[in-house]
């Protein structure tokens, strides 16, 4: 009889313990948005596009931010800015006509720097380009790089004393070029301060959807994701938060 009572007691104890999958779900729960993050006005989101910009890093976040207008009010106003009003050609050969040049661009609330072909070499020596990114980035509420766009943000001094990342294959070059930076690898994106840096490529949707969730809330981000057939769940994405 004592043995039966002991077995019954152990059964009750173990039945009250959380199931492993329930514990994992609880641990994976991430609160990204808080009301104080919510924009009070339409945000001007400027995409820096120069010759050799990569399609994925330009178009993926552009799609995400442009689609906010269907899910939240106020949303985001997206536009492309280039050194001049002359059309630029992406690395893959698509011709893009900018909305603004460096000379007539409106105020930028969120500056997006997609990767371009020469971000790791000649672009870093382009004083006009770096000065523009430094000026607009310092004034912006947020800056975001996709892939090697992080090299441009770093050259402009916008990643000093911040955690950051870049394209996985260029982590070594990034550390070598900017040894003072705290560089993370094996993550999709890193958010620290006003800067969001990311791996780029097909993962360029991740930091954009994250910023939508950070600013407007989880439901809005899921709605934008659904509109683009993306099953968004930030807890399933490798990332570093503030």
Percent of the chain with pLDDT over 90: 86
Q: Are strands 76-82 and 100-101 parallel, antiparallel or unpaired?
A: parallel
User: What pLDDT is recorded for position 4?
Assistant: 43
Q: Mean pLDDT, the chain, as a whole number? A: 91
Q: If you average pLDDT over residues 21-45, what whole number do you get?
A: 73
Q: If you average pLDDT over residues 98-106, what whole number do you get?
A: 98
Stated pTM of the model: 0.88
Res. 2 pLDDT band, cuts 50 70 90: very low
CA-only gyration radius of the chain, Å = 22
SS (H, E, C) 77-106: EEEEEECCCCCEECCCCCEECCCEECCCCC
> 112: which strand partners?
47, 144
> 191: which strand partners?
196
Residue 156, pLDDT > 60, answer yes
Distance CA(116)–CA(144), nearest Å, equals: 14
Residue 85, pLDDT > 60, answer yes
User: What pLDDT is recorded for position 226?
Assistant: 98
Q: Is 48 helix (H, G, I), strand (E, B) or coil?
A: strand
Residue 78, pLDDT > 70, answer yes
């Amino acid at each position: 009889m004592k043995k039966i009572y002991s077995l019954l007691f152990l059964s009750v104890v173990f039945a009250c313990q959380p199931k492993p999958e329930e514990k994992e779900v609880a641990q994976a729960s991430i609160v990204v948005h808080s009301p104080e993050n919510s924009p009070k006005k339409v945000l001007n989101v400027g995409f820096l596009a120069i010759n050799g910009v990569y399609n994925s890093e330009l178009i993926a976040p552009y799609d995400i931010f442009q689609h906010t207008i269907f899910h939240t009010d106020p949303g985001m106003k997206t536009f492309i800015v280039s050194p001049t009003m002359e059309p630029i050609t992406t690395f893959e050969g698509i011709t893009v006509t900018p909305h603004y040049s460096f000379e007539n661009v409106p105020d930028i609330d969120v500056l997006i720097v997609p990767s371009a072909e020469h971000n790791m070499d000649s672009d870093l020596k382009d004083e006009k380009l770096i000065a523009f990114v430094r000026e607009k980035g310092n004034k912006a509420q947020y800056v975001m790089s996709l892939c090697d766009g992080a090299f441009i943000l770093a050259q402009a001094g916008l990643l000093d004393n911040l955690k950051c990342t870049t394209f996985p294959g260029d982590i070594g070059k990034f550390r070598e070029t900017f040894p003072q930076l705290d560089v993370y690898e094996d993550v999709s994106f890193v958010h620290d301060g006003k800067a969001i840096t990311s791996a780029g490529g097909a993962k360029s949707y991740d930091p954009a959807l994250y910023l939508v969730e950070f600013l407007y809330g989880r439901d809005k981000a899921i709605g934008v994701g659904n509109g683009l057939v993306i099953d968004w769940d930030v807890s399933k994405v490798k990332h570093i938060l503030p």
